[in-house]
């Protein structure tokens, strides 16, 4: 048992956390990575069980200027949970309680370590759900979802994490317990600190309790599949769909490459001449649903539509989603390496984004596959390459930088729901003007005067 941490800190934390203080190499290794496939060994891992322990931990680390990296289940894709400067990883896996569910207030109070999927299961009997639904929902935590402002397909209708939080209790980098917001759906009492914490990737404070805004579960849902001749026809349909009153509960886009993969590798029954595909879903009361589907069908129709299918039964809907979910693994058949970024642009600029990405793909000679949450203009741009090939790696990185430049030039930004972490940190100055970035740094200093919380993430050095 060994740790490079100061021995007094090690002793104090052993006293404080007991079996919740891990310093064995093998144990530390389990907390060294996230889904970005980056890896850096923490000096220790803390598994607090109470807010009081979190406060004591932060104060002790602050006294020694030791970095603290908050961690849910490490499903994020940006390196935000990797302790690149060593220090202590704080895993919230033992603070995973659902403290309260109040259906009349449409509110749940939870600890940060609860899994998104477990929360949904607990809410369902009350006829409620929490809208954020990242692909990782079954095994990602609410705290992690809040840290990177996770979204998912449903965000087009129900918003992302930031839109679905009422109040947060958190411990700042100064070791102070702060209470941000109130568990009410309206509030105009001072500065809105809770939405500021959402998406801050553990760089401002550690969330120890969250009051979440819940939404009544729709009783039914129905999906449409619309195939278009080309991307711009599909993108124009997205704009029409978003300009009419029935907001779809999902509005997913696949480019021609993604359709081909879903067909050839994912086994979906899809035509060979699809230039782009939209998966459109409506949810609500069973009585109203046919009417909503009709409105969405009308909006989906237009120049360039090749086929429009109503996946009226659950089996057809499930097949469609299975094809969508098979995309990520199917990508690996194109190349062993993937850079997956989630740029976002105004919906009307999607055609220019996809056209520009295809041009960049031709120029660099590497496949790029686009799919994602069209209703939010939030596309997952997957650039495939061989990491063992140094030349390809260099071209891949240079091309992704151009994808960011393109998204920004279209009035968009670097990330819709994944966050910045390490992966996009150095691109922040392209997306955020110098005075705005300077202000973000000052806000960081106000919350975390010694810079111990997740150093090196989100803000460029």
Binding positions for a second copy, 81-100, rule CB under 8 A: none
Q: Whose Cβ is closer to a second copy: residue 20's or residue 377's? A: 377
The strand ranges marked E within 344-431 are: 368-373, 378-385
Let me know how long the chain is: 461
* Binding positions for a second copy, 289-308, rule CB under 8 A: 291-292, 295
Q: Which stretch binds a second copy (CB under 8 A): 226-234, 356-364, 384-392, 439-447?
A: 439-447
Establish if 114 lies at the interface with a second copy (CB under 8 A). Answer: no
* Binding positions for a second copy, 14-53, rule CB under 8 A: none
Coil, helix or strand at residue 341: strand
Could you tell me if 100 and 209 are in contact, meaning their C-beta atoms sit under 8 angstroms apart? no
- The span from the CA of 233 to the CA of 235, in Å, is 5
* Binding positions for a second copy, 172-201, rule CB under 8 A: 172, 176-180, 182-193, 195-196, 198-200
* Binding positions for a second copy, 245-274, rule CB under 8 A: 245-247
* Binding positions for a second copy, 132-151, rule CB under 8 A: 148-149, 151
Which of 53, 91, 233, 378 binds a second copy (CB under 8 A)? It is 378
Q: Whose Cβ is closer to a second copy: residue 155's or residue 226's? A: 155
Closest distance of CB 204 from a second copy, Å: 8
Q: How is residue 39 annotated by DSSP?
A: B
Q: Which stretch binds a second copy (CB under 8 A): 4-12, 363-371, 390-398, 425-433?
A: 425-433
Establish if 208 lies at the interface with a second copy (CB under 8 A). Answer: no
Q: Which stretch binds a second copy (CB under 8 A): 34-42, 135-143, 363-371, 441-449?
A: 441-449
Q: Whose Cβ is closer to a second copy: residue 26's or residue 189's? A: 189
Which of 46, 156, 206, 274 binds a second copy (CB under 8 A)? It is 156
Q: Which residues contact 363 (CB under 8 A, 6 or more apart)?
A: 399
Establish if 390 lies at the interface with a second copy (CB under 8 A). Answer: no
- The span from the CA of 237 to the CA of 298, in Å, is 10
Phi, psi of 245 (to 5 degrees): -70, -25
Which of 218, 302, 367, 451 binds a second copy (CB under 8 A)? It is 218
Could you tell me if 100 and 141 are in contact, meaning their C-beta atoms sit under 8 angstroms apart? no
Q: Whose CA is closest to 289, among 321, 246, 226?
A: 246
E strand or H helix at 143, and its extent? helix 142-147
Q: Which residues contact 390 (CB under 8 A, 6 or more apart)?
A: none
Two tokens, residue 406 = 């393109």
Which of 207, 415, 423, 455 binds a second copy (CB under 8 A)? It is 415
Q: What share of the chain is helix, strand, coil (3-state, %, to 5)?
A: 40, 25, 40
């Amino acid at each position: 048992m060994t740790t490079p941490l100061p021995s007094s800190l090690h002793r104090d934390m052993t006293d404080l956390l007991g079996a919740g203080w891990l310093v064995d190499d093998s144990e530390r290794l389990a907390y060294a990575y996230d889904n970005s496939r980056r890896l850096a060994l923490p000096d220790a891992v803390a598994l607090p069980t109470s807010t009081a322990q979190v406060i004591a931990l932060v104060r002790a680390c602050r006294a020694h200027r030791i970095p603290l990296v908050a961690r849910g289940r490490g499903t994020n894709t940006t390196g935000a949970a990797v302790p690149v400067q060593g220090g202590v990883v704080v895993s919230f896996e033992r603070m995973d309680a659902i403290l309260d569910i109040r259906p009349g207030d449409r509110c749940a109070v939870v600890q940060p370590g609860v899994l998104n999927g477990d929360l949904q299961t607990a809410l369902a009997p009350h006829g409620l759900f929490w809208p954020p639904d990242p692909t990782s929902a079954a095994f990602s935590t609410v705290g992690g979802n809040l840290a990177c402002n996770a979204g998912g397909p449903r965000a087009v209708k129900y918003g992302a994490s930031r839109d679905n939080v009422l109040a947060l209790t958190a411990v700042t980098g100064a070791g102070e317990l702060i209470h941000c917001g109130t568990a009410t759906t309206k509030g105009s009492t001072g500065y809105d600190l809770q939405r500021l914490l959402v998406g801050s990737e553990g760089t401002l404070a550690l969330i120890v309790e969250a009051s979440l805004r819940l939404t009544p579960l729709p009783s039914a849902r129905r999906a449409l599949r619309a195939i278009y001749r080309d991307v711009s026809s599909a993108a124009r349909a997205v704009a029409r769909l978003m300009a009419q009153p029935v907001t779809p509960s999902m509005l997913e886009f696949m480019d021609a490459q993604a359709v081909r993969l879903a067909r050839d590798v994912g086994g979906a029954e899809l035509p060979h001449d699809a230039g782009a595909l939209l998966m459109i879903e409506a949810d609500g009361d069973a009585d109203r649903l046919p009417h909503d589907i009709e409105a969405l069908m009308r909006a989906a129709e237009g120049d360039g539509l090749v086929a429009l299918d109503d996946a009226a039964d659950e089996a057809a809907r499930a097949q469609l989603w299975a094809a969508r979910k098979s995309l990520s693994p199917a990508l690996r058949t194109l190349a062993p390496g993937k850079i997956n970024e989630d740029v976002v642009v105004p919906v009307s600029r999607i055609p220019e984004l996809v056209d520009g990405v295809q041009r960049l793909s031709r120029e660099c000679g590497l496949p790029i596959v686009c799919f994602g949450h069209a209703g939010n203009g939030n596309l997952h741009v997957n650039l495939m390459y061989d990491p063992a090939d140094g030349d390809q790696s260099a071209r891949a990185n240079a091309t992704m930088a151009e994808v960011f430049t393109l998204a920004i030039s279209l009035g968009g930004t670097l990330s819709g729901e994944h966050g910045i972490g390490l992966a996009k940190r150095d691109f922040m100055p392209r997306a955020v003007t110098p005075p705005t970035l300077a202000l973000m740094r000052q806000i960081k200093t106000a919350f975390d005067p010694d810079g111990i919380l997740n150093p090196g993430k989100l803000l460029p050095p």
